[in-house]
């Protein structure tokens, strides 16, 4: 096996994880899993949030893939691609932690980007937090951010349609 196939699996998994994160954020975290996610949308002075339990779920997904790929655990039943899927999930988790928790919410370091894609990520996620409660909202992804102007227009339409309650400070 060449190095190309494992690298392709890792990269494909990383990209697929943005879809997994977007859909689980929109339909689980802002749905039946709101109980864990709510404190992430509310002011607090705690170091940890219930929302951090979702990181544990992501870690369990990665660890499960490493186990499925390990002949130490499963012997001849091991499935070799699982190891590289586990690496892709792990890398996405690291990037998520640095971008979402670090850059956007500044839980680990303080840096406010003035331009470029990092600024776009921060703006998009702040627009996600512009709604009050779990209904409506925009920008459910974490690594790939849409144009903030389009997100503002979408928030404005949601507010006008009565789908979402939008904080006044975002200009939607």
pLDDT at 1: 64
Number of H helices, E strands in the chain: 7, 2
List the domain range (segments joined by +) for residue 50: 1-111
- My answer on whether 18 and 69 are in the same domain is yes
How far, in Å, CA of 40 to CA of 150, rounded?
A: 24
Residue 103 in contact with residue 114, Cβ under 8 Å? no
pLDDT at 79: 94
- My answer on whether 125 and 84 are in the same domain is no
pTM of the model: 0.90
One-character DSSP codes across 23-51: HHIIIIIIIITHHHHGGGGS----SS-GG
Contacting residues for 131 by C-beta, under 8 A, at least 6 apart: 137, 155, 158, 164, 165, 166, 167
How far, in Å, CA of 96 to CA of 84, rounded?
A: 18
- Total domain count for the chain? 2
How far, in Å, CA of 111 to CA of 95, rounded?
A: 16
pLDDT at 172: 47
- My answer on whether 38 and 75 are in the same domain is yes
- My answer on whether 107 and 50 are in the same domain is yes
pLDDT at 170: 58
Tens digit of each residue's pLDDT, the chain (172 residues):
699 999 999 999 999 999 999 999 999 999 999 999 999 999 888 889 999 999 999 999 999 999 999 988 888 889 999 999 999 999 999 999 999 999 999 988 899 999 999 999 999 999 999 999 999 999 999 888 999 999 999 999 999 999 999 887 654 4
- My answer on whether 83 and 4 are in the same domain is yes
- My answer on whether 95 and 119 are in the same domain is no
- My answer on whether 103 and 148 are in the same domain is no
- My answer on whether 58 and 122 are in the same domain is no
């Amino acid at each position: 096996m060449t190095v190309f196939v494992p690298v392709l699996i890792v990269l494909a998994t990383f990209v697929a994880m943005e879809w997994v994160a977007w859909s689980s954020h929109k339909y689980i975290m802002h749905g039946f899993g709101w109980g864990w996610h709510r404190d992430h949308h509310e002011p607090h002075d705690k170091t940890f949030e219930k929302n951090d339990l979702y990181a544990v779920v992501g870690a369990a997904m990665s660890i499960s893939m490493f186990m499925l790929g390990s002949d130490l655990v499963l012997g001849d039943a091991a499935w070799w691609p699982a190891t590289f899927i586990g690496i892709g999930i792990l890398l996405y988790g690291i990037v998520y932690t640095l971008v979402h928790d670090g850059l956007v919410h500044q839980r680990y370091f303080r840096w406010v980007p003035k331009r470029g894609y990092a600024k776009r990520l921060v703006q998009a996620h702040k627009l996600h937090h512009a709604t009050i409660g779990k209904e409506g909202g925009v920008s459910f992804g974490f690594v790939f951010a849409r144009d903030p102007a389009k997100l503002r227009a979408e928030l404005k339409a949601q507010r006008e349609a009565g789908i979402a309650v939008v904080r006044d400070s975002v200009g939607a």
